[in-house]
């Protein structure tokens, strides 16, 4: 879904802060009168707007529109960190994309901001300004929010012009969760020099190919255990491309601070 926002409106930030979800949590089930913009700093979350689900990874931004139904069906991963801001609805904001003009931006519901530190910086400035005692903070917040809209728009336009190689790699990884791909394997498959491939991937996703695969695989394992707590650990290791269950357990504990068996017991006891 694409959404239209007016960029010359006087914006009121009703709330802005950071959240740390030490334990798993579902996104609140609600319909808000304000827009809810969420920046994922760490972790994974799946959030729905109406009937559409969006998978969110570090440095993703989701724009939850005022008046729409927002909710979660899958809990976020432990220790997920986010920044959020709630901003007033303007009469010219629309959930159906309108024609682009100088006074509006048209944005996707989810914007992948890997490789764009400016957007994260503006979120941080909004949170800091909202929590400050600056007597002119309302004016500053309105300016910062409109600047955020412009940066999101510029980043989206720039990303649309970039090669789609990294996205093709991610789709391949998602379709083959039992494999760990090396840069050499992917460079052979996509007919590109290994170093160029790794540089393009890191530029778009902000992490190395290996780190991205590991994070995605760990989240897939967590969700698999959540839905199949009775499955044997060696089967999980085989399904997701680990050498053995010891390798899986060590990697899982490093990521989530508990072993897979401890996590399964938490699920069973809850």
Which tens digit of pLDDT belongs to each residue from 7-19? 989 999 999 999 9
Which tens digit of pLDDT belongs to each residue from 96-147? 655 556 788 999 999 988 778 899 999 999 999 999 999 999 999 999 999 9
DSSP of the chain, one letter per residue? Answer: -EEEEESSS---EEEEEEEEESS--PPP-EE-SEEEEEEEEES-EEEEETTEEEEE-TTEEEEE-TTSEEE-SSPPPTTEEEEEEEEEPPTT-BSS-----TTEEEEESEEE-TT-HHHHHHHHHHHHHHHS--TTHHHHHHHHHHHHHHHHHHHHHHHHHS-SHHHHHHHHHHH-TT----HHHHHHHHT--HHHHHHHHHHHHSS-HHHHHHHHHHHHHHHHHHH-TTS-HHHHHHHTT-SSHHHHHHHHHHHHSS-HHHHHHHHHH-
Q: Domains (ranges, CATH) in the chain? A: 2-161 (2.60.120.280), 165-269 (1.10.10.60)
In the chain, the percentage of residues whose pLDDT exceeds 90 is: 54
Which tens digit of pLDDT belongs to each residue from 43-98? 999 999 999 999 898 899 999 999 999 999 999 999 899 999 999 999 889 876 55
Q: Is the pTM of this model over 0.95?
A: no
Q: With a cut of 80, say whether residue 23 has pLDDT above it.
A: yes
């Amino acid at each position: 879904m694409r959404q239209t926002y007016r960029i010359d409106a006087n914006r009121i930030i009703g709330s802005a802060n950071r959240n740390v979800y030490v334990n798993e949590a579902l996104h609140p089930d609600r319909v808000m009168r304000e827009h809810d913009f969420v920046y994922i700093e760490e972790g994974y979350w799946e959030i729905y707007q109406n009937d559409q689900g969006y998978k969110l990874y570090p440095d993703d931004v989701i724009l939850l529109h005022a008046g729409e139904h927002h909710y979660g069906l899958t809990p976020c991963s432990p220790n997920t960190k986010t920044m959020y801001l709630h901003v007033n609805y303007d009469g010219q904001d629309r959930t159906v994309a309108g024609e682009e003009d100088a006074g509006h931006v048209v944005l996707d519901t989810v914007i992948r901001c890997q490789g764009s530190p400016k957007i994260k910086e503006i979120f941080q400035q909004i949170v800091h300004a909202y929590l400050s005692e600056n007597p002119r903070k309302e004016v500053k917040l309105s300016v910062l929010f409109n600047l955020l809209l412009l940066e999101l728009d510029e980043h989206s336009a720039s990303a649309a012009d970039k090669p789609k190689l990294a996205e093709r790699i991610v789709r391949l990884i998602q379709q083959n969760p039992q494999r760990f791909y090396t840069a050499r394997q992917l460079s052979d498959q996509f007919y590109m020099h290994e170093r160029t491939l790794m540089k393009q991937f890191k530029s778009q996703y902000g992490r190395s190919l290996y780190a991205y695969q590991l994070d995605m695989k760990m989240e897939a394992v967590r969700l698999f255990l959540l839905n199949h707590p009775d499955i044997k650990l060696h089967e999980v290791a085989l399904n997701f491309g680990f050498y053995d269950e010891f390798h899986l357990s060590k990697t899982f504990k490093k990521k989530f601070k508990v072993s897979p068996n401890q996590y399964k017991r938490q699920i069973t006891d809850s």
